[in-house]
């Protein structure tokens, strides 16, 4: 059955509150900046509204599995455009309020349209093309009118088949998310060792070391510039990028791919403009663009990674926003003995090797999921006569049985 979004969804607009209403804790606000890879992710600058504002703004409240669509941004053909980007609200964000420049899609009738299926439909090329063809404005700023979004049409199979499709795709997403959590944990474990040894100074044998002014007396007092070199990245326009196996890094992280690497991996990237002082670890060859530095040093990458993350890079030149190398090099540090650095690197490297295995697994899972998603939605890959086991996040969808019948 072919239906327009206006026939199957309620549309909930983002709230109109002002910046001066935000407080340090309370009702979490979901912004377009929280939308990433179909997920909602926390940011350091997340905002909250006071609990006293609940009644005033409750019509903007989000529920688990709501689909959020960004309605404002650069033109969809521009690199990094967010307009038309969609994300699913996870359980931990249920009860949050949606901010402006986004709209929430919520199925009116779960017997007609499954909410999780709706999310995967919003991830299709068909949905993106609808946004691209109807977003209006300049290259730098376009808006997708909700009235135009409501006109998006698609064929909806029976809801049992929708649930099957959503279950298969959700199983991939749960594996991917589980790996992401493990990746975060592995890095956190390595960082905890770094802080324990080099910040709290509780390294092996610390009880036999003489301290002076709160630091080990024999550790060298040096400046960052004597430990590493920050090298300029190279401009690489979007039009000049040939998709390939090497990540292109900007100050926000990976911003694309290229068929050539400017730097042989593993290596470190430091934000120079934009997200100043951001630090990224690349385990393979990469291409740093002109908004970042890449690091040259004889010290282990894992040690330098946490060292750089622990530093406060402040830009004092208001006329030229960015990270000045001279200022960065002037940062003072207490340099541990080489043997202790190498021992830390041995431990951290093991964590990072496991982390990279999980990263590779996720790359493969994402690739397979993205290949089967359009085939499942279009019906080219049929699940009609196949039993499907529900992933944990969709257990309630299956009722008493954890499987859908083969004849759904």
Bridge partners (DSSP) listed for residue 258: 246
Q: Is the pLDDT of residue 321 over 80?
A: no
CATH topology (fold) of 220-335: Adenine-n6-DNA-methyltransferase TaqI; Chain A, domain 2 (3.90.220)
% pLDDT > 70, the chain: 93
How many residues in total does the chain contain?
408
Q: Is the pLDDT of residue 115 over 50?
A: yes
Contact of 34 with 97, CB cutoff 8 Å: no
Helix (H) or strand (E) holding 168: helix 159-198
Contact of 65 with 119, CB cutoff 8 Å: yes
Contact of 194 with 344, CB cutoff 8 Å: yes
Region 54-78 average pLDDT: 89
- Supply the pLDDT for residue 397: 67
Contact of 283 with 353, CB cutoff 8 Å: no
- Supply the pLDDT for residue 214: 85
- Supply the pLDDT for residue 401: 46
- Supply the pLDDT for residue 73: 80
**For residue 289, how many C-alpha atoms fall within 13 Å in the half-sphere facing its CB?**
22
Q: Is the pLDDT of residue 317 over 60?
A: no
Q: How far apart are CA 241 and CA 30, in angstroms?
A: 33
Q: Is 397 left (phi over 0), alpha (psi -120 to 50) or beta?
A: alpha
Which tokens sit at 1?
């059955």
pTM: 0.86
Least confident of 50-59, 137-146, 234-243, 297-306: 137-146
How is the chain split into domains, by residue range?
A: 2-156, 158-203+339-408, 220-335
Q: Is the pLDDT of residue 308 over 70?
A: yes
Please state, rounded to an integer, the average pLDDT across all residues of the chain: 91
Q: Is the bond into 266 cis (omega within 30 degrees of 0)?
A: yes
- pLDDT tier, 140 (very low <50, low <70, confident <90, very high otherwise): confident
DSSP classification of residue 226: G
pLDDT tens, residue by residue, 348-399: 999 999 999 999 999 999 999 999 999 999 999 988 878 888 887 886 665 5
Same fold, 2-156 and 220-335: yes
Q: Is the pLDDT of residue 400 over 50?
A: no
Q: What sections of 24-158 are H helices per DSSP?
A: 54-57, 115-122, 125-134, 146-149
For the chain, report the end-to-end CA distance as a whole number of angstroms. Answer: 16
Q: Is the pLDDT of residue 138 over 90?
A: no
pLDDT tens, residue by residue, 227-241: 999 999 999 988 888
- Supply the pLDDT for residue 337: 96
Angle of helix 338-378 relative to helix 301-309, nearest 10 degrees? Answer: 80
Q: How far apart are CA 84 and CA 268, in angstroms?
A: 32
Within 10 angstroms of residue 298's Cβ, the number of other Cβ atoms is 6
Q: Is the pLDDT of residue 407 over 50?
A: no
Rounded to 5 degrees, φ, ψ at 380 are -65, -30
DSSP classification of residue 391: P
**CA-closest candidate to residue 165, choices 119, 200, 196:** 119
Within 10 angstroms of residue 160's Cβ, the number of other Cβ atoms is 15
CATH topology (fold) of 2-156: Adenine-n6-DNA-methyltransferase TaqI; Chain A, domain 2 (3.90.220)
């Amino acid at each position: 059955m072919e239906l327009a979004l206006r026939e199957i969804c309620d549309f909930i607009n983002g709230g109109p509150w002002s910046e001066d209403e935000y407080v340090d804790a309370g009702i979490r606000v979901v912004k377009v900046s929280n939308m990433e890879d179909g997920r909602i992710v926390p940011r350091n600058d997340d905002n909250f509204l006071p609990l006293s504002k609940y009644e005033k703004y409750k019509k903007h409240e989000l529920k688990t599995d709501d689909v959020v669509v960004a309605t404002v941004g650069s033109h969809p053909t521009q690199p990094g455009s967010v307009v038309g980007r969609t994300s699913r609200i996870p359980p931990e964000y249920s009860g949050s309020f949606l901010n402006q420049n986004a709209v929430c899609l919520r199925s009116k009738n779960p017997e007609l349209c499954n909410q999780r299926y709706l999310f995967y439909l919003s991830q299709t090329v068909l949905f993106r093309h609808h946004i691209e063809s109807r977003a209006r404005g300049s290259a730098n700023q376009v808006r997708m009118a909700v009235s135009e979004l409501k006109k998006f049409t698609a064929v909806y199979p029976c809801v049992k088949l929708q649930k099957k499709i959503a279950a298969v795709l959700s199983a991939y997403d749960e594996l991917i998310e589980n790996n992401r959590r493990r990746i975060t944990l592995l890095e956190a474990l390595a960082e905890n060792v770094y802080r324990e040894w080099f910040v709290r100074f509780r390294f092996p044998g610390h009880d036999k070391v003489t301290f002076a002014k709160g630091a080990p007396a024999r550790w060298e007092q040096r400046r960052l510039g004597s430990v590493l070199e920050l090298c300029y990245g190279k401009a690489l326009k979007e039009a000049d990028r040939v998709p390939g196996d090497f990540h292109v890094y900007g100050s926000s992280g990976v911003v694309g791919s290229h068929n050539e690497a400017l730097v042989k991996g593993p290596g470190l990237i430091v934000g120079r403009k934009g997200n100043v002082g951001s630090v990224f670890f690349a385990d393979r060859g990469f291409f740093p663009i002109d908004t970042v530095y890449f690091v040259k040093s004889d010290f282990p990458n894992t040690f330098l990674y946490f060292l750089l993350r622990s530093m406060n890079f402040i830009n004092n030149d208001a006329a030229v926003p960015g990270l000045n190398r001279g200022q960065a090099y002037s940062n003072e540090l207490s340099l541990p003995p080489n043997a202790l650095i190498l021992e830390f690197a041995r431990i951290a490297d093991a964590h990072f090797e496991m982390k990279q295995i999980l990263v590779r697994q996720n790359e493969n899972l994402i690739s397979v999921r993205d290949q089967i998603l359009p085939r499942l939605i279009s019906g080219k890959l049929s699940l009609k006569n196949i039993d499907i086991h529900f992933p944990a996040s969709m257990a309630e969808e299956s009722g008493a049985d954890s499987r859908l019948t083969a004849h759904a």
